[in-house]
A and B are shown apart, each in its own frame.
Chain A
């Protein structure tokens, strides 16, 4: 069945360092969404990518959708303590499936 894999599971960075999380699907996706869950909170929608090779930016966050529409990445430039949380990708194949998430911690 459809699987969405996300790596790494955990990432600890020093404030100011960059961070990247990767999402890979076993099947071609029609779209991919990214969500952020702050500690103790609920997931909150960040962005949706639909087109092959699409790149979108939100301030220090850059989202990419692979050419084959089977993988995606989220890159944060110069992390800040406000970036802490778990980042989830969610891919739409037959239905919407979430990755396991990458938990980011940032040391000030």
Chain B
């Protein structure tokens, strides 16, 4: 158990819908990362937050947005869903978020878009 929690574990929805994925970082970690992992694919970095502020942005679609709240939990919002958005979405957290510390990954949310 990494200490990072993600909800829900599974999500099944239809094209065109909007969903919200939630992540709670490890206690004491200020930075949260979001990744997308499609079937048999690597980890695609989406976005990173540090203490409530956006720190780095990867290949995140305009249909996707995220935020980190004052209690440090984070949400990833996916809208106008397409079939190709079906994937495993991981959240990770780290203490400083400067790339020199360990990222602790949550168990992931598996999104299926029908």
Contact = CB atoms under 8 A, between A and B. Distances in A.
A33 B105 contact: no
B45 A43 contact: no
B42 interface: yes
B79 interface: no
B56 interface: yes
A65 B84 CA distance: 36
Interface string A16-49: 0000000000000011010100000111110010
Contacts of B103: 33, 35, 43, 45, 90, 96
Given A96-B45, A98-B45, A43 B99 contact: no
A88 B104 contact: no
A88 B43 contact: yes
B86 interface: no
Interface residues of A, number: 23
A103 B37 CA distance: 14
A30 B99 contact: yes
A101 interface: yes
26 contacts: A30-B99, A30-B100, A31-B99, A33-B102, A33-B103, A35-B103, A41-B107, A42-B106, A43-B90, A43-B92, A43-B103, A45-B104, A48-B102, A50-B100, A95-B45, A95-B48, A95-B56, A95-B99, A96-B56, A97-B58, A98-B35, A98-B42, A98-B45, A100-B41, A101-B42, A103-B40
A75 interface: no
Interface of B is mostly: loop
Interface of A: 6, 30-31, 33, 35, 41-45, 48, 50, 88, 90, 92, 95-101, 103
A42 B105 contact: yes
Interface string B73-114: 000000000000000001010000001101111111000000
Contacts of A103: 40
